[in-house]
């Protein structure tokens, strides 16, 4: 059975499940494991010892085949075999994993989303990025009776305002009052993902993980 050894750079929430992604240890290519239903669950991503993956874990994921889509070309269809824990990636080597795009994917009229029709016609070729932006703050709001968290940051002199799906930060900041919160860690890395197409015809850019060091 084929497998990929990846460094976990995203372990986030999505509608009805989980989203896990990372870069391979050898070639540093992005990999996004998916199930037959598309989404992952805690049961599917558990290690053979019963524990769940954490950010920066190095893990072996067995898969059946590559399953790229126009919006998420890094997808691989996982097999039934349990994932294996192999070790940890050092925090001081995160810079070596960073991507350096000119912009966060591509910016259309609104910088937090891309039209699905555009992606289908103009293959972007990737849907995951690890970047090290500047001046990050979090915005905690209430919208339609739901608690929302967004990350506002500057990357390559452009400001972005993207939804956050990192479960650790969601749990912490959903307990806080509505407002803005500056992140003061010396180094902060963001794993940014293009979500699967939404019913409104867009793929949204989401902060799948926030990694302060």
Q: What pLDDT score was predicted for residue 146?
A: 87
How many domains does the chain contain in total?
Answer: 2
Residues 81 and 118 in one domain: no
Residues 86 and 127 in one domain: no
Q: Measured between alpha carbons, how far is 49 from 174 in angstroms, rounded to an integer?
A: 31
Residues 58 and 25 in one domain: yes
Q: What pLDDT score was predicted for residue 135?
A: 84
| CB-CB contact of 21 with 9 (8 Å) | yes
Residues 7 and 84 in one domain: yes
Of 94, 123, 151, which residue is a domain's last?
94
| CB-CB contact of 59 with 8 (8 Å) | yes
Q: What pLDDT score was predicted for residue 38?
A: 74
Tell me the pLDDT of the chain (213 aa) as tens digits.
799 999 999 999 877 788 999 999 999 999 999 998 878 999 999 998 899 999 999 999 999 999 999 999 999 999 999 999 999 999 999 999 999 999 999 998 889 999 999 999 998 999 999 999 988 999 999 988 889 999 999 999 999 999 999 999 999 999 999 999 999 888 999 999 999 999 999 999 999 999 999
Tokens of 62: 């067995």
| CATH code, domain with 173 | 2.40.50
User: Could you list the residue range(s) of the whole structural domain that residue 112 is in?
Assistant: 98-212
Please tell me the total number of residues recorded for the chain in this structure.
213
Residues 72 and 122 in one domain: no
| CB-CB contact of 23 with 65 (8 Å) | no
Q: What pLDDT score was predicted for residue 108?
A: 87
């Amino acid at each position: 059975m084929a497998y990929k050894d990846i460094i976990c750079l995203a372990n986030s929430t999505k509608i009805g499940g989980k989203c896990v992604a990372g870069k391979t240890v050898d070639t540093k290519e992005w990999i996004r494991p998916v199930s037959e239903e598309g989404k992952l669950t805690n049961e599917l991503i558990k290690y053979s010892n019963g524990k769940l993956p954490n950010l920066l874990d190095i893990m072996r994921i067995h898969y059946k085949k590559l399953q790229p889509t126009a919006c998420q070309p890094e997808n691989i269809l996982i097999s039934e075999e349990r994932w294996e824990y192999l070790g940890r990636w050092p925090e001081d080597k995160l810079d070596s994993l960073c991507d350096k795009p000119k912009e966060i994917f591509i910016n259309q009229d609104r910088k937090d989303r891309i039209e699905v029709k555009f992606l289908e016609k103009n293959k972007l070729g990737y849907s995951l990025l690890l970047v090290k932006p500047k001046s990050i703050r979090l915005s905690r709001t209430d919208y339609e009776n739901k608690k929302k968290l967004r990350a506002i940051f500057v990357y390559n002199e452009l400001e972005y305002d993207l939804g956050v799906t990192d479960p650790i930060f969601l749990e912490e900041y959903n307990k806080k009052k509505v407002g803005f919160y500056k992140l003061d860690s010396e180094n902060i890395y963001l794993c940014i993902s293009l979500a699967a197409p939404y019913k409104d015809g867009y793929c949204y850019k989401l902060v799948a993980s926030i990694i302060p060091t």
